[in-house]
Structure 1
Amino acid sequence: MSDEEVKNRAEKYIRGMEERLKKVPPFFIEKYRKIYDLAQQYTQDAKYYLEKGDYITALVDIVYAEGLLDSIVFNENTNLELQIPKKVFVAGTFDIIHPGHIELLKEASKYGLVYVAVARDKNSEKVKGRRPINDENHRLEVIKSIRYVYEAFLGDENDFLKSVERVRPDVLFLGPDQKVDENKLIDELKKRGLESVQIIRMPQRISTYAHSSTSSIIQEIVKRYCNKKDDDIRE
């Protein structure tokens, strides 16, 4: 086999592997995290060696990645080619990230790929009656780094539902404390041609983190430090 043939085969396998990785359902990724991460790493290694002109190593790496992914497919008796992950829409301020936020996103990921619209500063202030501690770009970057999140972006400043229209999700996932009238929301979605969106609300906070909230964290900081000297706070 010539170098050009090896290169073409490696390129073909890498493209195919990248597409297969996108089709792995979130709950499989969570269940087989180490295997999935290794498959991703070997795929990235294959791309690296392909760019360096080491086509044999690229081919070996991508074949190994395929073997890892096949082990998940075999164990779950599934066909990734038939898997079409659902889109799950989540929106929120996500100011000071705490375990309750992580549990919300983890729960949402059980239904599909999680798309998060991070509230703009002015909208968050309007709803909560105070400015966020962290600005919108800061909050967006933190959310992007959470493994349960497939994609995150800043929400629309004037119309919350424009963010929903942008994603066109299968599921709109609400937190237990989000003050949303679900019936009105359904009506508004229908007006925009999104009548097939399923609304699912997380029934309650996970008991372990039932008292986790941004407000409680802020209150605790104030309680500890509001009457202390600057030197005490720095310590």
Structure 2
Amino acid sequence: MSESKVYELDRLAETLESEKSKGRKVVLCHGCFDLMHPGHIKYLQAAKKMGDVLVVTVSPDRYVDKGPGRPVFDERLRAESLAALECVDYTAVNQWPTAEETLRRLKPDIYVKGQEFERLEDKTGKIQKEYQVLQEIGAEMRFTHEIVFSSTELINKYIKD
């Protein structure tokens, strides 16, 4: 069942155009989502409340920069796991190192990040570039204020030997 919510990006762009033509507000979340945890679930549930359609894109395996042995789960499995959540309407695997081109193609109404990005700062500089694209396409950036966990810290603390 969840596999039916996993789309290729071009097909998803067409689907979202149709959703928007019906007056539905499209919300996009993007990330690695390597180890699903309660923080992810709360974040996605909060994002869903900001619009009508929740889309989640995952970083492709080749661009995950979380350290050796990551991602733990491959891109397809991560997308399918997200699709299994009731609050998620569509998932896809991003094809680029950042979400910039995905934002341009999918044109969400709202792009949602966790509160840890609220100052538009991160050590990679990705959030600043994504914000610039949102300005280009006329989309809004919003932030959730849910419990935050780090998958990397959880893996290092509880799973690695």
TM > 0.5: yes
1:148 is aligned to: 87
One-letter amino acid of the structure 2 residue matched with residue 185 of structure 1: E
Question: Is there any run of 5+ residues in structure 1 with no aligned partner, and where?
Answer: 1-22, 24-82, 227-235
2:133 is aligned to: 188
1:88 is aligned to: 27
1:205 is aligned to: 146
1:117 is aligned to: 57
CA contact (8 A) 1:115 1:167 kept: no
1:217 aligns with 2:157: no
Deviations 1:128-179 (A, max 9, x none): 2332111111111101111111100000234521211222111010123353
One-letter amino acid of the structure 1 residue matched with residue 146 of structure 2: R
1:52 is aligned to: none
One-letter amino acid of the structure 2 residue matched with residue 123 of structure 1: Y
RMSD, aligned α-carbons: 2.5
Distance in 2 (alpha carbons) for counterparts of 1:181 and 1:139: 21
One-letter amino acid of the structure 1 residue matched with residue 108 of structure 2: P
Question: Is there any run of 5+ residues in structure 2 with no aligned partner, and where?
Answer: 1-18
Q: Which has the higher helix share?
A: 1
Runs of 4+ with >4 A deviation: 180-184
Deviations 1:174-233 (A, max 9, x none): 12335367655333334xx40x2001122x433xxx4x33223312123xxx3xxxxxxx
One-letter amino acid of the structure 2 residue matched with residue 221 of structure 1: I
1:166 aligns with 2:105: yes
Distance in 2 (alpha carbons) for counterparts of 1:99 and 1:163: 26
CA contact (8 A) 1:140 1:154 kept: yes
CA 1:181–1:153: 2 relative to 1, 3 Å? closer
Question: Alignment partner of 1:149: what SS?
Answer: coil
Q: Which has the higher strand share?
A: 2
1:175 is aligned to: 114
1:103 aligns with 2:42: yes
Deviation at 1:88, TM superposition (A): 0.5
Distance in 2 (alpha carbons) for counterparts of 1:182 and 1:217: 23
Deviation at 1:94, TM superposition (A): 0.6
Distance in 2 (alpha carbons) for counterparts of 1:91 and 1:164: 10
Distance in 1 (alpha carbons) for counterparts of 2:127 and 2:152: 24
Q: Return the TM-score normalized by structure 1.
A: 0.50
One-letter amino acid of the structure 2 residue matched with residue 84 of structure 1: G
Trace 1:17-36 onto structure 2 (pairs within 5 A). Answer: none
1:18 is aligned to: none
Distance in 2 (alpha carbons) for counterparts of 1:158 and 1:181: 9
Deviations 1:100-140 (A, max 9, x none): 0000100000111111111111211x3x2332111111111
Structure with max Cα Rg? 1
CA 1:153–1:183: 2 relative to 1, 3 Å? closer
